[in-house]
Amino acid sequence: MNQYEVMYVIDAALEDSARNELINRFSELVQKNGGEVERVDEWGKRRLAYAINYKTEGYYVLMYVKAPADLPREIERNLQISEQVLRYLVIRYEAQLPAKREPLKPAPLPREFAQPSAAQPAAPAEAAAAVAEAEEAPAVDADEEAPVSEAE
């Protein structure tokens, strides 16, 4: 038996009960045809890279399966028939089963974009004055000659 990775994107407008029924239907399909489902990861609703049938969001599901060699064709046939499935991909997976991915957490903002808190004092007035003086100073081009003084 080979290992396969089955990724499919379901229409995000589908209700939760119908979506769970669809996911269970594909899992049962594997079991009825002599395979075993090792794990089903639901990645959830995500924005699509491009619109598919005028839809911009999809619900991603990743399924790891051990199955005979003829089962991927049957899975693809059923995925293609289903109108709720926007895209799918079935590949042979030869590595060990990876650890389950945790949902993505938002990364913290860099310090320069963080909101100043009440504990942080505002920038000192001296620094603001130095910045203002630097902005008002005329810019000197390297191509221009320096002014010649009369002493020369």
The overall average pLDDT reported for the chain is 81
Question: pLDDT tier at 100 (50, 70, 90 boundaries)?
Answer: confident
- What CA–CA distance (Å, rounded) separates 40 from 3? 14
Write down all domains in the chain, each with its CATH number in brackets: 2-92 (3.30.70.60)
* Predicted confidence (pLDDT) at residue 47 exceeds the cutoff of 80: yes
